[in-house]
Structure formats: structure tokens, C-alpha cells
Amino acid sequence: MLIASLCGLEELMRKSYDSIVVGAGAFGAWTAYHLRRSGLRVALLDAYGPGNSRASSGGETRVIRMGYGPDELYTEWAARALIQWKNLAGSGRQELFHKTGVLWLSSETDIYAQQTLTALRQRKIACRELSAAELREQYPQFSFHSVQRGVLEPDSGVLMAREAVQALARELAGDGVDLFRAQVLPVTGAHKLDQVQTSAGERFSAGSFVFACGAWLPKVFPDVLQGRIRSSRQEVFFLGVPSGEDAFSAPKAPVWLHHTHPKRPYALPDIANRGLKFAFDRHGPDFDPDAGSRLITDGSVAELREYLQENIPRLQHAPIVESRVCQYENTSNGDFLVDRHPCLENVWLAGGGSGHGFKHGPVLGEHVRDLVLGKAAVEPRFSLATKQITAARAVF
């Protein structure tokens, strides 16, 4: 991969850029991609490099699903994004998308599941409703006693997150985007930004700037975003599956989300022989993405075992073959933040993935490109004005 520190930093820094993107995760890399495809001269900066272990986009896998209850915007964006992820995975690259299916598990009275089913059918997105009996027959390896219905998205599945971001970064480098490993210092000022400065003393100038640096956004813009984007600790487990079996691999096991369980557990099937991935989809304690400890706690292991005993007894004593501590970057309600900086007219903020943002990267990048080029207006629900201090999550 082309990294500027290896190929003549001084020469590259003399180049004039139309746009600089800070943050090489799913949001930033796809924004750089669409800006470059529009003919702009683009530089992409990241403190640790694309797909690094601290980044929200740096995990092995991420779910891509269309279901969002009645939320038309995210359903539409996910469907459009999947097309671009598949295109990225084409042309002989490694397998970046696995069509495992995504299964919503719920009760008979769960309105959200019914709204999801209705929205998918209205948009002619493949889906299927399963009764409790059909779930037991189709997925005998699970024992979801409290589940009464399922909604299956057969064409959804799993993205290889780290590999996909790094593949996109390689494509950007080959298409003329300059990649720099550089930590941008906090930004201040009024009216217009001429350049950013890094911790190593470099200065990068451009006509417009996009900051898509995830959990680091409040560090770069403390006066504007402190408290409005919160980084939370998330623990993830990979469970060793029974030897000689494929019951926990696709197609026998899909991605599933136990939507009506109070702890909101979800799991991904055994992908690339790494084990069944399991986590609870909730906002954990505050977390520093630079210095936070990334070791799992004994309490979380006990919580995991308790859930497995009740719902997946075959894995109750399964070894934890890997674990990760990553972070969500949460807005107050789970909606993205995509807006112009309130004081700097040529600076755009793109973040707040809130645990569901990775899948939307391609379409969010298109949207940011259109904002930078003056071809679109800010989506009201993504505006900075809607981001509050008090958390009240409304997007799942």
C-alpha cells in the first residue's frame, strides 16, 4: 500500500489538494473514493493507517443488513451500499462479502420486526417470515425458547471489514489519492480553514476538508463535539465451534440478532474459520480509543456463558478462541452526524456510526461528496443541531 512516509513526504506535501479527508475508515475512505472519482485531487490522512486495530472499521467482520424497522432512509442506504461493497469485492479480490443471510429473532408482539418485514416487502427486498416451529426445524443448533417469530433477509450477510477498508485504500492509492499516516491536531478558527497541522509538524493545505475520524472527532473538535459524540467500550467474543461440524457456519447458520432480548445479543457465523462471533449490542462505558485497555473482563465472560447456557447450550462451554474490545462512536440517538462545521465554511464533519455505520460507508461517501461539491443539502436528521448531550438511542 502506498503510504506517503515511504514515498517522498516532502514532495507530496508540496502538492495542492482540492480536498483532504481525515480518517481512513469506512466513512473516510469511501468519501475519498467518491471525491476522487469526481475529479478532485484528494489526500487521505489517518493517525494509525487504514483498518488499524483501534479503528471502528478495523474489526474482522461487520454485518450488512437492510432491516431498520420503519426507517426508510437507512433501509434504502443499506441496499444501495451493498451493491458498491459487492463491486469492491469483484475483479478477483479476496472474498469481502459473505451472503450468510441475516435473521431477526423476536416475539409475536414485536412491532419493530413487523415494521421491518413490511418495509422490506415494500422495497421488494428478499425476506421471509419464520414461525417458531420453522425456526426450530431450520436451526436446530439453537434453543431460542423465548423467540416466537423470525424475519430472514437471505441476501444480507457479512463484510470483511478490515480487509475491505484496506482493499479500498489500495484502490485509492492506485487511483491517485495520496495516503498519509498522520495525526491531525485539534482544529480551531473561524470562517475558513486553510490547512491542518499534524503532531509531527507537517501542514496540509486544501480547498475543503472532511473529518471522518470516528471516535477521534471530539478530540479534533472538542469545543463543538465534546459530549455530542461519545465513544463507548464494546466487547466481542469469538467462540470455538465443535470440531468436524459445520452447524455454526453459513449456510446452516446465518447472522442473527436477538432483537427482543433485553441485552440485544447478536452473532455472526463462523467466517474464515475464526469461530462464531458474539456480542451484546448496547452502549458500554466511556472509552478512550487511543489509550483504553482492550482486554475483556471476567464479568462479561460470565454474562456470555449465562446467555449461551439458555440459548445455545451446545456452545455453553466453548472456548473463547479470540476476543476484541472495540468502540462505538455514539451520537445521542444513533443517527449519523453529517454536517458543515458551524464556524468553518469549508469543513465537513462525518461520523457517529453508533455501531451500525460501517455498512453504509459507500452511500455516506456519496452524500458527503455531494455536500462538498454543493450538489446536496444537509439531511436534517444528520445535522449537528439534532445531536444532544443526553443519550436517547432510537436507531438500531
| Percent of the chain whose pLDDT exceeds 70 | 95
Beta bridge partners of 267: 256, 278
Q: What confidence category does residue 7 fall into, taking pLDDT thresholds of 50, 70 and 90?
A: very low
Q: Are residues 325 and 339 in the same domain?
A: no
Per-residue pLDDT tens digits for 176-203: 999 999 999 999 888 999 999 999 999 9
Q: Are residues 183 and 322 in the same domain?
A: no
Q: Are residues 313 and 359 in the same domain?
A: no
Q: Are residues 237 and 269 in the same domain?
A: yes
Structural domain count, the chain: 2
Q: Are residues 151 and 20 in the same domain?
A: no
Whether residue 180 is contained in a domain is answered as: yes
Q: Are residues 194 and 318 in the same domain?
A: no
Per-residue pLDDT tens digits for 256-282: 999 999 999 999 999 999 999 999 999
Average pLDDT over residues 356-376: 98
In the chain, at which residue ranges do the beta strands (DSSP E only) sit?
17-22, 42-46, 61-64, 97-98, 102-106, 128-131, 149-153, 157-160, 178-181, 195-197, 203-211, 230-239, 255-258, 265-268, 276-280, 320-330, 337-340, 347-351
Q: What confidence category does residue 5 fall into, taking pLDDT thresholds of 50, 70 and 90?
A: very low
Average pLDDT over residues 76-99: 89
Whether residue 146 is contained in a domain is answered as: yes
Write the CA distances from 104 to 110, 124, 332, integer angstroms: 11, 18, 24
Residue ending a domain, choose from 330, 345, 372 = 330
pLDDT of residue 127: 98
Q: Which domain holds residue 153?
A: 99-157+230-330
Write the CA distances from 305 to 85, 239, 268, 269, integer angstroms: 34, 11, 17, 18
Q: Are residues 172 and 210 in the same domain?
A: yes
Average pLDDT over residues 194-218: 97
CA angle in degrees (0–180, nearest 5) for 250-150-133:
95
Q: Are residues 221 and 302 in the same domain?
A: no
| Gap between the Cα atoms of 92 and 336, Å rounded | 33
Q: What confidence category does residue 252 fall into, taking pLDDT thresholds of 50, 70 and 90?
A: very high
Residue ending a domain, choose from 330, 353, 377 = 330
| Gap between the Cα atoms of 76 and 208, Å rounded | 28
| Gap between the Cα atoms of 301 and 5, Å rounded | 41
Residue ending a domain, choose from 292, 307, 330 = 330
Whether residue 378 is contained in a domain is answered as: yes
Whether residue 62 is contained in a domain is answered as: no
pLDDT of residue 6: 37
One-letter amino acid at 9 equals L
Per-residue pLDDT tens digits for 133-167: 999 999 999 999 889 999 999 999 999 999 999 99
Identify how many contiguous H helices and E strands the chain contains and give both numbers. 10, 18
Q: Are 125 and 66 in contact (CB under 8 A)?
A: yes
Q: Are residues 270 and 323 in the same domain?
A: yes
CATH number at residue 148: 3.30.9.10
pTM of the entire structure?
Answer: 0.95
Q: What confidence category does residue 93 fall into, taking pLDDT thresholds of 50, 70 and 90?
A: low
Q: What confidence category does residue 10 fall into, taking pLDDT thresholds of 50, 70 and 90?
A: low
Q: Are residues 338 and 307 in the same domain?
A: no
Q: Are residues 198 and 219 in the same domain?
A: yes
Question: Does 12 score more than 70 pLDDT?
Answer: no
In 10 A of CB 343, how many CB atoms?
16
Question: Does 9 score more than 90 pLDDT?
Answer: no
Question: Does 8 score more than 60 pLDDT?
Answer: no
| Angle subtended by helix axes 72-89 and 111-122, to nearest 10 | 60
| Gap between the Cα atoms of 20 and 28, Å rounded | 10
Q: What confidence category does residue 2 fall into, taking pLDDT thresholds of 50, 70 and 90?
A: very low
pLDDT of residue 11: 54
Q: What confidence category does residue 1 fall into, taking pLDDT thresholds of 50, 70 and 90?
A: very low
Q: What is the DSSP letter of 12?
A: H
Whether residue 127 is contained in a domain is answered as: yes
| Percent of the chain whose pLDDT exceeds 90 | 91
Q: Are residues 326 and 349 in the same domain?
A: no
Q: What confidence category does residue 363 fall into, taking pLDDT thresholds of 50, 70 and 90?
A: very high
Average pLDDT over residues 205-228: 97
Mean pLDDT of the chain: 94
Q: What is the DSSP letter of 64?
A: E
Return the C-alpha cell found at 157: 450477510
Whether residue 71 is contained in a domain is answered as: no
Whether residue 63 is contained in a domain is answered as: no
Whether residue 88 is contained in a domain is answered as: no
CA angle in degrees (0–180, nearest 5) for 75-36-336:
30
pLDDT of residue 145: 86
CATH number at residue 338: 3.50.50.60
Per-residue pLDDT tens digits for 26-74: 999 999 999 999 999 999 999 999 999 999 999 999 999 999 999 999 9
